[in-house]
A and B are shown apart, each in its own frame.
Chain A
Amino acid sequence: MRVTLQVKPRKKPFLPIEAETIVPAHFLDGTDLVVWKGNRELPLSDVFSVTVEGTAETADEVEITMRGDTSRIKRVGEYMEAGRIVIEDDIGMHCGNFMSGGTIEIGGNADGWLAREMRGGSIICRGNAGNYCASGYRGEKRGMTGGTVEVFGNVGDFAAETLAGGCVVIHGSAGDMAGTEMRGGTLRIEGDCTRVCGNMTAGTCYVFGTVHDMLPTFRRRGTAVHDGVTLTAFTGDIANRGKGNLFVRDYKYMD
Chain B
Amino acid sequence: MNEILIKNACVIDPISGINGEIMDIAVSDGRIVEEVGSGAEVIDAEGFLTLPGGIDSHTHICGTKVNFGRYMSPEDMRAGRTPRRGRMHSTSGYSVPTTYGNSYRYSGMGYTALLEGAMAPLEARHTHEEFAYTPLQDTMANVLFDGNWAIMEAVREKDTKRAAAIVGWTLAAVKGFGVKLTNPGGTEAWGWGKNVSSITDVVPYFEVTPGEIIDTMIRATEMLALPHSVHIHCNNLGLPGNYRTTLDTFDLVPDLNRKRQTLYATHVQFHAYGGTSWSDFCSKAEEITRSVNEKPQIVIDMGQVMFGKTTTMTADGPMEFNLYRLHHNKWSNHDVELETGSGIIPVLYRRKNLVNSIMWAIGLELALLTKNPWQCLLTTDNPNGAPFVRYPEIIGLLMSRKYREAEFATIHPDTEHRVSLPSIERELDWQEIAVMTRAGQARALGIVDIGKGRLAPGAEADIAIYPLKIGEVDPGREYERVIEGFRQTEYTIKRGRIVSRRGECLVWGNNTTIWVKPKISERYDMAQDPAFVEKFDRYYTVRMRNYPVQEEYLKRNLCIETETEL
Which A residues are closer than 8 A to B by beta carbons? 39, 137-141
Contacts and interface: CB of A to CB of B under 8 A. Distances in A.
A159 B143 CA distance: 41
B84 interface: yes
A141 B73 CA distance: 9
B546 interface: no
A140 B75 contact: yes
B277 interface: no
A138 B330 CA distance: 12
Contacts of B278: none
B71 A138 contact: yes
A142 B330 CA distance: 11
A139 B71 contact: yes
Nearest to B329: A141
A135 B73 CA distance: 15
B421 to A, nearest CB: 35
Contacts of B447: none
A237 B552 CA distance: 47
Nearest to A39: B84
B72 interface: yes
Nearest to A117: B74
11 contacts: A39-B84, A137-B74, A138-B71, A138-B74, A139-B72, A139-B73, A139-B74, A139-B330, A140-B74, A140-B75, A141-B330
A139 B84 CA distance: 25
A39 B71 CA distance: 23
B84 to A, nearest CB: 7
Q: Which 9 A-B pairs have the closest CB atoms?
A: A139-B72, A137-B74, A139-B74, A140-B74, A139-B71, A139-B73, A141-B330, A138-B74, A141-B329
A143 B333 CA distance: 22
Contacts of A39: 84
Among A39, A138, A139, A140, residue most surrounded by chain B Cβ atoms (within 10 Å)? A139
Contacts of A138: 71, 74
A141 B75 CA distance: 10
Contacts of B75: 140
Nearest to B75: A140
Interface in B308-363: 329-330
Contacts of A141: 329-330
Nearest to B72: A139
A137 B75 CA distance: 9
A13 B505 CA distance: 36
Nearest to A137: B74
Contacts of A137: 74
A105 B265 CA distance: 60
A235 to B, nearest CB: 20
Interface in B464-491: none
A119 to B, nearest CB: 15
Nearest to B76: A139
Interface string B56-72: 00000000000000011
Interface in B67-121: 71-75, 84
A76 to B, nearest CB: 19
Nearest to B332: A139
Contacts of B330: 139, 141
Contacts of A139: 71-74, 330
A39 B75 CA distance: 23
B140 to A, nearest CB: 29
B207 to A, nearest CB: 34
B70 to A, nearest CB: 9
A189 to B, nearest CB: 26
A39 B74 CA distance: 21
A39 B329 CA distance: 35
A109 B13 CA distance: 65
Interface string B357-375: 0000000000000000000
A149 to B, nearest CB: 20
B69 to A, nearest CB: 10
A39 B85 CA distance: 12
A5 B72 CA distance: 37
Interface string B489-516: 0000000000000000000000000000
A139 B331 CA distance: 10
A140 B346 CA distance: 12
Given A137-B74, A139-B72, 11 more contacts: A39-B84, A138-B71, A138-B74, A139-B71, A139-B73, A139-B74, A139-B330, A140-B74, A140-B75, A141-B329, A141-B330
A183 B217 CA distance: 47
A231 B72 CA distance: 36
B511 to A, nearest CB: 25
A32 to B, nearest CB: 20
Contacts of B73: 139
A141 B76 CA distance: 12
A164 to B, nearest CB: 14
**Which of B72, B74, B330 counts the most chain A CB atoms within 10 A?**
B74
Interface centre among B75, B84, B329 (most CB of A within 10 A): B75
Contacts of A140: 74-75
